[in-house]
Structure 1
Amino acid sequence: MAAPPELTTLDLSGTYVMNKTLSDDTDEILRLQGVSWFMRKLIASVTITLYVKHYKDADGNEHIDIEQIGSGGFKGNYEQRTLTWSEREVDDGIFGPVVGKSRRVAISELEYEWHKEGWLADTIEHNAIQAYAMSNTAKSGNTWIADGIWGFAEVNGERRHTRKVHFTGPKGEEINARLVYDYQPTPYLDVYGRRANITPESTLFRYTRRFTSPWLLILLVPAYIIALSFIVKAQFYDIPSDALVTCTSTYWLANDQCGLDGDSCLPQSNAQTKFEFKCPSQCKSVILLNPRTVGDEAVDRVPLIVGGGDANGTYRGDSFLCAAAMHAGLFSDSRGGCASLELTGEFTNFLGSTAHGLTSIGFPTIFPLSFRLTPNTSLSHCSDIRDVALAFNTIVTALLFFVLRPKPIILFWCLVCIGYWHVTFFSQPRSEPPPISDAFGTFLPALFVAYGFWRIAFRFVLPAFAHLPIERGIWYIGSFWPGVLLNVITAKVPIDRLVPSDIDGDKGAIVAVTLIAIALFAVVVNQARVMRKTGWLFHYAFWYIAGGLVALVLSQLPGLELRLHHYILAMMILPCTAFPTRLSAIYQGFFLGMFLNGIAAFDFDSILQTAAELQRDAPAGTLLPSFLTNSSTWNASIPLANQSISWDDISAADSVTWNGFALLVDDVERYAGVATNFSLAALDATIPHFFRLAFQEDGVSGDFTKAATLWPNGTWVNPLSGPS
């Protein structure tokens, strides 16, 4: 793997494995040094690992001790170098009597031009290590000189520990050879003491080696898919599909979406008045994302529950079914459950209450649709088992990292597939049951993007910790699953979209965005520090600036708004994690999970969207009509049966846009047309009533006003300004 930026010639301590593919062949050098054919072939057949200890003594002299061990237990040289440029003679087991000396030297002072080329900026800044060795001709009968320069160079786009050797043979032969090493991070968890060693990394690596066969993984993959299929079946397909509801399922829609007198939402027959349903878990955190008017009260950022406080537990028809069932105590939020519902038609005076961690609001007047809930149901398999699925998938990923340990690229694809389908089926399905055809439609392009992640980031980091299964598992699994479950861990954050309309004026949202910005800034600063040390800062800065300029141009397109989805944020951050550090591993796990959460739950939403697409059910900012009836003109002495309310007609200028009105009475559309008044003769004088008005264009309503209120004592309360 590549060497981390903090590893420089100032301290070479660490473990290095010779990369034979990237290194030059040294067989001819060994032959000229007098090494036998058999020994050369033996050296060529093993992989050399260097265990380097770099330190200073009490006098400030630098020492580099190197133990060389080959694969299969082959014992190499043990070097003890002092960087004082003083000669020291050793009797080498392979090369015979050798005289060597070492020092720290500036690149500019080197004799050979080849020695001066290709070093990274930190090696030039801190100077290279020169390891000079020559045969003791008088004792060995052979003559050769090996002048080696140690430092860090870029090899195939990666930062590598490199040794450049200029060799001079017995007859003046000159050979240049480059030796390239893979860096292996020192295990944090392995502790070596004078009397005892604690080595969990090495122990796990040794005892699980027998399970790393690719054939075992090939056998386990179908077993995993079959097991997952049974869990998915139990979650969605063991009960009728029409019994599955979402956390926002309701019988009545907002404002005038149920049509005149609510005819589109009222049951058409008695057979439709009873319903058995199954709710998923975690519905308590599913809330209104825009204010919803109930009577004269605006409800926001809570589950919509109206009523339920009377003895029979009667809820208004637009209450969220699952939230109402939890409010009634029929099942818990953590497991979900089943319930039976009976529509009870028109009801007056819904009472609010607080129960089982949820609060419902009251509605003191009449509504044409209500329901009551009971726990009695014929449905089975009612518990939501997403927690079981999460435990299963977490165990599987742990086995992959700690025990099976496939090749890094296979491990990466396992993460991608497990995370994507976990979001699709369990943590954030698009509907109940999940639309599998849509999921496969998103899966293929997601794989292409994931391959891009591998090429630009993961292939530089994930293999770097291959010999540290515990650490690698902790860094990746510990950050990957929070990213996959982003909707769960951010459930209480008062913002779910990074768009100005959701942030403006909301103190909680502003605080949340500020904290997110600080966290991202810390990530960027740390990675920029790494880039600077490795010499990649200007390369990455160029492309990020170019991308920022493109985004700036896109943001200026007329009629469109720039929408930074969280999957796009993950795509932006991941390229700068292509450096083999532990923090990069943590970032990669989290942002890969966040990317999968975004595209599995919401598909590849566009980075540019219209204002209408971003509006949801929020006010669109349209023109508001105004009531002529007000507290000054209302005559409370006239019986309600003889009263009417009126409003301003559409002006000539506004008639280009609008051609009618819609009137909500007690949150139900009671009039749609061109008239400018409405009779109150059908209303009950003993209960309060709420009136909201909107312009219409060909039957499509604009924003409604806030509610005007008529109390039973004859008091008229004017509506507040602004839309509802």
Structure 2
Amino acid sequence: MAAPASMTTKDITGRFYLNKTLSDPTDKFFALQGMSWATRTVIAIANLTLDVNHFTDEKGVEHINIRQTLSGGIKGTTENRALDWTERHNEDHIFGAVISKTRRAKLEEISEEFLKTDWLPEVNEDGVIHSYVITDKEKNKNDWIVDQTWGFEQIEGEKRYARHLKLIANGGKDTLEVKLIYDYHPMPWLEREYHLRYFRFSLHLETRLKKLTRPLASLWIFALFAAAYIVSLAFLVRSQAFLTPADSYVTCTSTYWLPDAGCGLDGSQCEPFDNSTFEFRCPSGCSTTILQNPRAVGDQEPVFVPLIIGGGDQNTNGSSGTYRGDSFICASAIHAGIISNSRGGCGTLSLVANFTDFVSSTAHGLTSTAFPSVFPLSFVFTPSSSLNHCEDLRNDALAFNIIVTCILFLLLSPPPIVAFWSLVCIGFWHVTFFSQPRENPPPISDAFGTFLPALFVAYAFWRVAWRKVLPSFSNIPLERAIWYLAPFWAGVEVNVITDKIPVDRLIASDIRERHGALAAVIIIALVLLVLVVNQVRVIRKTGLLPFYILCYVAAALTVLVFSQMPGLEFHLHHYFAAIALIPIAFLPTRLSAIYQAFLLGMFLNGVAAFDFASIFETHAEIVRDGAVGSELPTFATNSTGWNSSLPLVNQTISWNPFPDDDNDWDSFSLMVDDVERLASNALNYSLALLQPGIPHFFRLAFSSDGVSGDYTRAAIVLANGSWIDPPSGASE
């Protein structure tokens, strides 16, 4: 692996593996140092690892301590160097008694040409690490000198840690020049030497764990573990979704009544209104499913809260309070205490027709909205239910999958590409079956339709970023688990992590109207800017920044061109944000590991829950059920000309005709107490059939071919017969 662009000879702390393919042969070099054939053979077969700890002591002297290890944990040479050019005697168990001195030197201070060529320009600025080692002739029968320099050079387009060694042996009769090239891996924090005044210690936890788990690092064991996981997952999915009748499932937004004119004239498309019961099962977390657009409830417009209307009245028959038919069933059941928010649950719902005066109340952390008029459809809850297996197991499944991935990363240590694809599969199906199923029971055939293209995108993630970073952590399982698993699961559960952040859509109306949204957007933007700028700073040192700038500018221009197509707007879905950002997380650093793990989890969350949603949508698709900005009709009736002394049976309301220059509309839609009561080109409506003594609410919209535009805000006839003109603007 290439060394990080930010690494210089000022700090070479890290773990380095000798790359035998790129390095010169060393057998003759070691033979001239007097090393036996058997030892040279072992070194030729084994892989050499250098654990380098570079630090400055309290006196300002640089130290480089190096612990060499061969495959299988065979201890090699230990080097403890102080860069003060002072001779030190050392008894090495391989090379015998030696005398060495080390310093930081400018290239012009080096006499041997081989030792000062091919280095990167930054090495010329910071200096190379220069070491001079000779045998102690009083204790060692061998006679050799090794003059060497350490630094970084460009090898096959990548920055590599390198050592240039010149050997002089047998009194100068034999000389040999060798270049050693190393692969970089981050130095494990749990392997470093730590210094506290005069104390020096190292935990070596990574080495110990690696040694303990080496017998488990077999693909056969991994295959058995994978098979056991799939069987266990099947039973967990069965308990979660397939032991309750499919028609009993409701979602967090399920209702008995659709917004505005969705139920048709007089609500005929939402019948029956009474004499019906329904046993239902709700998922967990429904108290946080909220309205993203204002919803007209009489003259109120609740927004950014669960839609719960009523429930504050007292029933004497053991059932709950009465909820208006367009209330979210599951949020209302939580409000009534029938189910819990954390585990979901089952209950029984009974329909009630023509209920009047829905009373607001606060219970179980939720506050309902009042509606003082009559509504044709409402419901009450009873806790009894014949359904079984009602609790939502998503938290249990999350704990199960986290444990599985911890076992995978800490104990089994499969090859990096196997670990990567394991995360892809586990994360995708966790979202599909547990954390954000599209429906209940989960539509498995639809999920497979998304899974295949998701695998192709994931392969691009591997090629662009993961293959350059994850292998760097192969031999440090503890750090690998920390840097990858925590952000990965945060990304998979990004909907839960961001649940309290008051931003769902990056559109101006949401940011303007929702409390705290602007501050949240600014903070997120600043954090993202800092992270991106830091990555750009490091990428610049690799020399690849112009290439990346060119690619991102080309992508941005493409998006800009398509977003200018008539009727289309750019909508940044979080799965697309992950795709856009993953290419800059290719550097073999801990931060890159965190970034790419989180982005992979966020990508899987997005596509598994919502498929590959289009990044170009119409304005109506973006605002969903919000106002689209269509033209509004106006009431001819107003408070000035209204006679409040007349009873409702003799009252009529009217409105103005279509504008002369407007041919887009062919009829009107009148909502009376949030129920469509007129859909025609008439210009008035009689109030004779309305119940007296309670307030009534009127909203009007233009309509074309049965499709309504935006509705006005509510005009009100109070219980005392007074008329209140509607506020300006549309009801959302």
Would the TM-score normalized by the shorter structure come out above 0.5? yes
The residue type paired with residue 161 of structure 1 is Y
Query: How far off is 1:678 after superposition?
Result: 1.1
CA, structure 1 residues 566+114, in 2 after alignment: closer, same or farther (shift >3 Å)?
farther
Aligned equivalent of 2:492? 484
The residue type paired with residue 687 of structure 1 is I
CA distance in 2, matches of 1:475, 1:695: 56
TM-score, length basis structure 1: 0.91
CA distance in 2, matches of 1:180, 1:191: 21
Q: Secondary structure at the match of 1:396?
A: helix
Residue 390 of structure 2 is aligned to residue 387 of structure 1? no
Q: Secondary structure at the match of 1:368?
A: strand
Aligned equivalent of 2:18? 18
CA distance in 2, matches of 1:547, 1:173: 55
CA, structure 1 residues 166+534, in 2 after alignment: closer, same or farther (shift >3 Å)?
farther
CA distance in 1, matches of 2:370, 2:59: 82
CA, structure 1 residues 88+352, in 2 after alignment: closer, same or farther (shift >3 Å)?
closer
The residue type paired with residue 376 of structure 2 is P
The residue type paired with residue 348 of structure 1 is T
RMSD: 3.1
Residue 219 of structure 2 is aligned to residue 217 of structure 1? no
Q: Secondary structure at the match of 1:345?
A: strand
CA distance in 2, matches of 1:109, 1:665: 92
Please give the per-residue CA displacement for 1:369-423, whole angstroms capped at 9, x wherever unaligned. Answer: 1111111111111111111111111111111122122122211111111111111
Please give the per-residue CA displacement for 1:434-485, whole angstroms capped at 9, x wherever unaligned. Answer: 2211111111111111122222222232222233322221222222212111
Aligned equivalent of 2:555? 547
CA, structure 1 residues 689+535, in 2 after alignment: closer, same or farther (shift >3 Å)?
same
Aligned equivalent of 1:633? 641
Aligned equivalent of 2:291? 288
Residue 726 of structure 2 is aligned to residue 723 of structure 1? no
% same residue = 54
Aligned equivalent of 1:671? 678
Aligned equivalent of 2:234? 229
Please give the per-residue CA displacement for 1:528-550, whole angstroms capped at 9, x wherever unaligned. Answer: 33334555444434433443343
CA, structure 1 residues 188+543, in 2 after alignment: closer, same or farther (shift >3 Å)?
farther
**Partners of 1:695 and 1:702 within 8 A in 2:** yes
Aligned equivalent of 2:188? 186
Aligned equivalent of 2:618? 610
**Partners of 1:662 and 1:696 within 8 A in 2:** yes
**Partners of 1:342 and 1:371 within 8 A in 2:** yes
CA, structure 1 residues 90+561, in 2 after alignment: closer, same or farther (shift >3 Å)?
same
**Partners of 2:64 and 2:82 within 8 A in 1:** yes
Bigger shift: residues 176-185 or 233-242: 176-185
Aligned equivalent of 1:657? 664
Residue 314 of structure 2 is aligned to residue 311 of structure 1? yes
Q: Write the mapping of 1:584-599 to structure 2, written as runs, cut at 5 A.
A: 584-599=592-607
Query: How far off is 1:525 after superposition?
Result: 2.6
Name which of 703, 710, 714 aligns with 1:703.
Answer: 710
The residue type paired with residue 19 of structure 2 is N
CA distance in 1, matches of 2:634, 2:58: 88
CA, structure 1 residues 306+37, in 2 after alignment: closer, same or farther (shift >3 Å)?
same
CA, structure 1 residues 155+363, in 2 after alignment: closer, same or farther (shift >3 Å)?
same
Aligned equivalent of 1:246? 251
**Partners of 1:185 and 1:465 within 8 A in 2:** no
Residue 695 of structure 2 is aligned to residue 693 of structure 1? no
Aligned equivalent of 2:318? none
Gaps of 5+ in 2: 316-320
Please give the per-residue CA displacement for 1:639-688, whole angstroms capped at 9, x wherever unaligned. Answer: 3212211111012211x211111111111111111111111111122221
Residue 163 of structure 2 is aligned to residue 163 of structure 1? yes
The residue type paired with residue 151 of structure 2 is G
CA distance in 2, matches of 1:507, 1:322: 25
CA distance in 2, matches of 1:561, 1:316: 36
Residue 417 of structure 2 is aligned to residue 409 of structure 1? yes
Bigger shift: residues 458-467 or 230-239: 458-467
CA distance in 2, matches of 1:471, 1:244: 42
Q: Secondary structure at the match of 2:533?
A: helix
CA, structure 1 residues 92+187, in 2 after alignment: closer, same or farther (shift >3 Å)?
closer
Aligned equivalent of 1:364? 372
Aligned equivalent of 1:344? 352
Q: Secondary structure at the match of 1:369?
A: strand
**Partners of 2:190 and 2:202 within 8 A in 1:** no
Name which of 263, 267, 274 aligns with 2:272.
Answer: 267
CA, structure 1 residues 111+549, in 2 after alignment: closer, same or farther (shift >3 Å)?
farther
Aligned equivalent of 2:689? 682
Aligned equivalent of 1:177? 179
Query: How far off is 1:220 after superposition?
Result: 1.1
CA, structure 1 residues 473+53, in 2 after alignment: closer, same or farther (shift >3 Å)?
closer
CA distance in 2, matches of 1:128, 1:6: 16
CA, structure 1 residues 256+277, in 2 after alignment: closer, same or farther (shift >3 Å)?
same
Aligned equivalent of 1:40? 40
TM-score, length basis structure 2: 0.90
Bigger shift: residues 192-201 or 621-630: 192-201
Bigger shift: residues 10-19 or 658-667: 10-19
Aligned equivalent of 1:333? 341
Q: Write the mapping of 1:475-624 to structure 2, written as runs, cut at 5 A.
A: 475-624=483-632
The residue type paired with residue 310 of structure 1 is D
CA distance in 2, matches of 1:33, 1:399: 45
Bigger shift: residues 321-330 or 278-287: 321-330
CA distance in 2, matches of 1:425, 1:351: 37
Please give the per-residue CA displacement for 1:110-136, whole angstroms capped at 9, x wherever unaligned. Answer: 667765565345323312223456789
**Partners of 2:51 and 2:187 within 8 A in 1:** no
**Partners of 1:102 and 1:131 within 8 A in 2:** yes
Aligned equivalent of 1:447? 455
The residue type paired with residue 217 of structure 2 is T
CA distance in 2, matches of 1:196, 1:176: 34
Q: Secondary structure at the match of 1:481?
A: helix
CA distance in 2, matches of 1:29, 1:482: 51
Query: How far off is 1:53 after superposition?
Result: 4.8
The residue type paired with residue 300 of structure 1 is V
The residue type paired with residue 667 of structure 1 is D
**Partners of 1:3 and 1:580 within 8 A in 2:** yes
**Partners of 1:187 and 1:201 within 8 A in 2:** no
Q: Secondary structure at the match of 1:50?
A: strand
Aligned equivalent of 1:202? 207
**Partners of 2:13 and 2:187 within 8 A in 1:** no
Q: Secondary structure at the match of 2:388?
A: coil
Query: How far off is 1:268 after superposition?
Result: 8.5
Bigger shift: residues 529-538 or 593-602: 529-538
CA distance in 2, matches of 1:154, 1:118: 8
Query: How far off is 1:148 after superposition?
Result: 3.2
**Partners of 1:122 and 1:533 within 8 A in 2:** no
**Partners of 2:334 and 2:341 within 8 A in 1:** yes
CA, structure 1 residues 93+580, in 2 after alignment: closer, same or farther (shift >3 Å)?
same
The residue type paired with residue 417 of structure 1 is C
CA distance in 1, matches of 2:626, 2:107: 66
**Partners of 1:18 and 1:182 within 8 A in 2:** no
The residue type paired with residue 686 of structure 1 is G
Bigger shift: residues 453-462 or 418-427: 453-462
CA, structure 1 residues 252+166, in 2 after alignment: closer, same or farther (shift >3 Å)?
same
Residue 404 of structure 2 is aligned to residue 399 of structure 1? no
Q: Secondary structure at the match of 2:343?
A: coil
CA distance in 1, matches of 2:497, 2:12: 41
CA, structure 1 residues 665+104, in 2 after alignment: closer, same or farther (shift >3 Å)?
same
Bigger shift: residues 294-303 or 3-12: 3-12
